[in-house]
Amino acid sequence: MAIGAGLDRRLGRRTVLAGAGAAAAVGAVGFPSIVRAQSKSLKVGVYGGYFKDSFDKHIFPDFTKATGIAVEAVAEPTGEAWLIQLEQAARAKQAPADVSMMSQVAMLKGMAAELWAPLDPAKLPNAAKVKPALMNKYPDGRLSGIGAVSWYITLVTNTKSYPQPPESWAALWDPANKDKLGLLALVSNSFLLDVTAATFFGGSKHLDSEQGQLECFKKLAELKNNVKLWYRDEAQFEAALKSGEVPMGQYYHDVTGLAAADGHPVRSTFPKEGGILDSGSWAVSKASKAGDLAHVFIDYMCQPQIQALLSRKVGTSPTIDRSATDLTDKEFAAVSSDLAPIVPRYDLYVSKADWLNQKWTEMIVG
Amino acid sequence: MIRRAPRSLGEHAPILFPALMLVVFFVIPFGLMIAVSVARRIPGGFYEPDLVFANYERFLSAFFGGVLSFSLELAALVAVVAVGIGFPFTYRLARLPRAAQVRWLVFLLSILSLSEVIIGFAWSTLLSRTAGITNLLVAVGLMAEPQSLSPSFGALLAGMVYQAFPYTVLVLYPALARLDPALVEASRTLGASPLKAFFTVVVPAQRNTIVATLIMAFVFALGSYLLPQLLGRPQHWTLSVLITDQAIYQSNMPFAAAMAVFLVLVSLALVGLSLLFGRKEEA
């Protein structure tokens, strides 16, 4: 979706830049891959906007210096739009990007279609340090992807409207917050079912049964009156949060921290139930002819000093244990938290995708 | 100029190019969409070619019926309001001196260069509590405290009419500029007030133009998917928004295609009906 295009590019963080992505894909498909293989270059897909800009600036030049592999960065739209483009290109034996940063739901869907080339752990010594929860595997155990970046979605507030920070996700349900909230508009990116389960039903196990899922939907329907904005576009919510137009909601921890550092009256709070930990993985398209170079790249990205660099420069939470990095407490707090996170039930968002989507849409539209 | 119907290939030639373009840019994509709409969805994945109607079945529910009828009503309302404002405006515009007309038309054309995103953000700021027009009303003492007017149905309607208005004027302009001033003069000579002359002479004389413009604005508004997200609440999301969700976020192409096919067919039927209705009236 082109909503974020043309706005302040830092605002467009994980914003979908479908236009740019599509154009890049078309351009990329047109190139003969032989030329690329000979010149040792790798096409890497990263989320367009903020992520791509940061990687272009802080990561790719050093990688090229260290390995001699040139990186051609491809701006990809978040999640499934890019997945569809990769899949369709793979049918034509083309890879618009060799390695792509993919959301977890897109990873699982790509796995269902056998889109990802299996990775070889022997060629990825540094990947052993990556947290097990951030490794993606095919049902038969083959490695399909490895955690690239992770980030937190937390409870954010405008400090002028809320002098005291909220303590729990339950604040979203507080009748005093009528018409005050900005929440993500889709069941599969807001993870509010997971939040509801963690806040009121003792954890994500409650989502195992359909009964439990329906209970969470019922509980969620109670906060509808509090929501002023169901947003698909981050820039829209961020602007409204800064101005106080929509003074509370869910948003990215690190981006909110950056906005606060710029002097905007906003804050990010890790509720006592934990922040939502979302992540992106590196995955290699089965149509890619640069598998070896892709392994070199993924291994490079898993190194502790690179993960620390990402935390400092890009604002992502490290994919490896904190103790392996040289991050200070302050640097770590800016991107992460020691509180146990709410890890979304990605499996549900794939196996029951249509049903959850239908229930969700009926709930918020109806 | 040939007055009889064209017979030879050479006489058909002038329409070959547009016909070809219609096939390439409408018939083929629409055919592909129909093909995708009956494909079999692989849950958690993509789709395979097939001939199943599950996607249409899913669509035929009270929920989607409600969304579809809201989309149609909204588009119709946008068309009526845009033409309701645009017609008198264009009528006055066509009577201005040439230089003033050009300035207005250039201004309207420049609105067309704004993207839907910018229009949406501009209206949401304009209607916001923190920076919007209610602050002006408070400043002049008409309101006690600033209010947020967006997201709401009014905000959405305003944004969509704003977007459709330039198109409306540009479609109405040629017909109204060619309108013979003698018609109005004659009715005035016979004692009609300017208002009466406008409604009993100008409007009926331009009936076909008005119908054509309404249809254009209606179809244009029906496709809007960004403004309902930016300026409306979830109950104001149009079918186009849900199609986008399915296609982009749920990667459910077959269902998105089925909804899109349905939307195209319904709007074609409505356009056809209004044309048929117009022709009967004429006869």
Q: What is the predicted pLDDT for the residue at B281?
A: 61
Token pair for residue A85? Answer: 């483009």
Measured in angstroms, the CA of A352 and the nearest CA of chain B are apart by 8
Cβ–Cβ below 8 Å for B234 and A232: no
* Chain A from 58 to 87: CB within 8 A of any B CB: 79-81, 83-84, 87
Please indicate, yes or no, if residue A334 is contained in any of the structural domains: no
Q: What is the predicted pLDDT for the residue at A255?
A: 87
Measured in angstroms, the CA of A81 and the nearest CA of chain B are apart by 5
Please, what is the average pLDDT of chain A? 87
Q: Could you report the per-residue pLDDT of B154-194, keeping only the tens digit for each?
A: 999 999 999 999 999 999 999 999 998 899 899 999 998 98
Measured in angstroms, the CA of B127 and the nearest CA of chain A are apart by 11
Q: A234 and A356 share a domain? A: yes
Q: Does residue B228 have a cis peptide bond before it, meaning omega lies within 30 degrees of 0?
A: no
Q: What is the predicted pLDDT for the residue at B45?
A: 58
Indicate the residue of A2, A188, A228 with minimum beta-carbon distance to B249: A188
∠ CA A37-A279-A223, rounded to 5°: 145
Residue B160 has, within 13 A of its CA and on its CB side, a CA count of 36
Cβ–Cβ below 8 Å for B234 and A364: yes
Per the model's pLDDT, the better-predicted residue between B154 and A9 turns out to be: B154
- Residues in chain B with CB shorter than 8 Å from the CB of A80 are 248-251
In three-state secondary structure terms, A277 is strand
Q: By 3-state DSSP, what share of chain B in percent is helix, strand and coil, each rounded to 5?
A: 75, 0, 25
Please indicate, yes or no, if residue A219 is contained in any of the structural domains: yes
Please say whether the beta carbons of A110 and A102 come within 8 A: yes
In three-state secondary structure terms, A107 is helix
Measured in angstroms, the CA of B44 and the nearest CA of chain A are apart by 5
pLDDT at B101 over 70: yes
Measured in angstroms, the CA of A39 and the nearest CA of chain B are apart by 34
Q: A206 and A231 share a domain? A: yes
Q: What is the CA radius of gyration of chain B?
A: 23
Least Cα distance to A88 among A137, A22, A18 occurs for A22
Strands A143-158 and A276-284: antiparallel
Least Cα distance to B202 among B59, B87, B53 occurs for B87
Q: A251 and A346 share a domain? A: yes
Please say whether the beta carbons of A154 and A271 come within 8 A: yes
- pLDDT bin (cut points 50, 70, 90) of residue A11 is very low
Cβ–Cβ below 8 Å for A236 and B230: yes
Indicate the residue of B115, B130, B252 with minimum beta-carbon distance to A245: B130
Cβ–Cβ below 8 Å for B253 and A185: no
In one-letter notation, the amino acid at residue B192 is: A
Neighbours of A93 (CB within 10 A): 10
Which of A1, A16, A85, A226 best probes binding to B when mutated, by most B CB atoms within 10 angstroms? A1
Q: A51 and A160 share a domain? A: no
Least confident of A138-152, A227-241, B45-59: B45-59
Measured in angstroms, the CA of B130 and the nearest CA of chain A are apart by 6
- Residues in chain B with CB shorter than 8 Å from the CB of A243 are 128, 130-131
* Chain A from 81 to 140: CB within 8 A of any B CB: 81, 83-84, 87, 108-109, 112-113
Please say whether the beta carbons of A305 and A291 come within 8 A: no
What is the number of domains present in chain A? 2
Please indicate, yes or no, if residue A6 is contained in any of the structural domains: no
- pLDDT bin (cut points 50, 70, 90) of residue B280 is low
Cβ–Cβ below 8 Å for A84 and B253: yes
Cα B33 from chain centre: 22
Q: A161 and A225 share a domain? A: yes
In three-state secondary structure terms, B150 is coil
d(CA A179, CA A181): 6
User: What chain B residue is nearest to A115 in terms of C-alpha separation?
Assistant: B45
Please indicate, yes or no, if residue A212 is contained in any of the structural domains: yes
Q: Could you report the per-residue pLDDT of B35-70, keeping only the tens digit for each?
A: 999 998 876 557 888 888 888 988 888 999 999 999
Which of B47, B114, B242, B250 best probes binding to A when mutated, by most A CB atoms within 10 angstroms? B250
Q: Could you report the per-residue pLDDT of A58-98, keeping only the tens digit for each?
A: 999 999 999 999 999 999 876 577 888 898 899 999 999 99
Q: A27 and A64 share a domain? A: yes
Per the model's pLDDT, the better-predicted residue between A109 and B10 turns out to be: A109
Least Cα distance to A252 among A272, A267, A264 occurs for A267
Within 8 A by CB and 6+ apart from B54, the residues are: B40, B41
Please indicate, yes or no, if residue A248 is contained in any of the structural domains: yes
Q: A292 and A145 share a domain? A: yes
ipTM confidence: 0.82
Cβ–Cβ below 8 Å for A80 and B245: no
Q: A93 and A104 share a domain? A: yes
d(CA B57, CA A199): 36
Domain range holding A292?
A: 18-150+280-328
Cβ–Cβ below 8 Å for A362 and B42: no
Output phi, psi for B48, to 5 deg. Answer: -125, 145
Please say whether the beta carbons of A146 and A298 come within 8 A: yes
Q: A194 and A264 share a domain? A: yes
Please say whether the beta carbons of A311 and A331 come within 8 A: yes
Please say whether the beta carbons of A151 and A315 come within 8 A: yes
A353 Cβ under 8 Å from any chain B Cβ: yes
∠ CA A178-A206-A232, rounded to 5°: 45
* Alpha helices (H) in B179-206, listed in sequence order: 181-189, 194-197, 203-205
* Chain A from 13 to 52: CB within 8 A of any B CB: 16, 18
Please indicate, yes or no, if residue A9 is contained in any of the structural domains: no
Q: What is the predicted pLDDT for the residue at A106?
A: 87
What is the distance between the terminal CA atoms of chain B, rounded to a whole angstrom? 27
Q: A233 and A356 share a domain? A: yes
Neighbours of A336 (CB within 10 A): 23
d(CA A242, CA A235): 11
Q: A238 and A361 share a domain? A: yes
Q: Could you report the per-residue pLDDT of A265-299, keeping only the tens digit for each?
A: 999 999 999 999 999 999 999 999 999 999 999 99
Please indicate, yes or no, if residue A8 is contained in any of the structural domains: no
- Residues in chain B with CB shorter than 8 Å from the CB of A358 are 58
Q: A92 and A207 share a domain? A: no
Cβ–Cβ below 8 Å for A2 and B117: yes
Q: How many Cβ pairs closer than 8 A exist between chain A and B?
A: 94
Within 8 A by CB and 6+ apart from A219, the residues are: A173, A196, A200, A201
- Residues in chain A with CB shorter than 8 Å from the CB of B235 are 365-366
Cβ–Cβ below 8 Å for A1 and B237: no
| Single pTM value for the model | 0.81
CATH number at residue A266: 3.40.190.10
d(CA A27, CA A89): 12
User: What chain A residue is nearest to B63 in terms of C-alpha separation?
Assistant: A362
Which of B46, B64, B123, B133 best probes binding to A when mutated, by most A CB atoms within 10 angstroms? B46
Please indicate, yes or no, if residue A105 is contained in any of the structural domains: yes
User: What chain A residue is nearest to B247 in terms of C-alpha separation?
Assistant: A81
Domains and CATH numbers, chain B: 57-282 (1.10.3720.10)
∠ CA A146-A151-A154, rounded to 5°: 150
Indicate the residue of B46, B230, B248 with minimum beta-carbon distance to A81: B248
d(CA A256, CA A262): 10
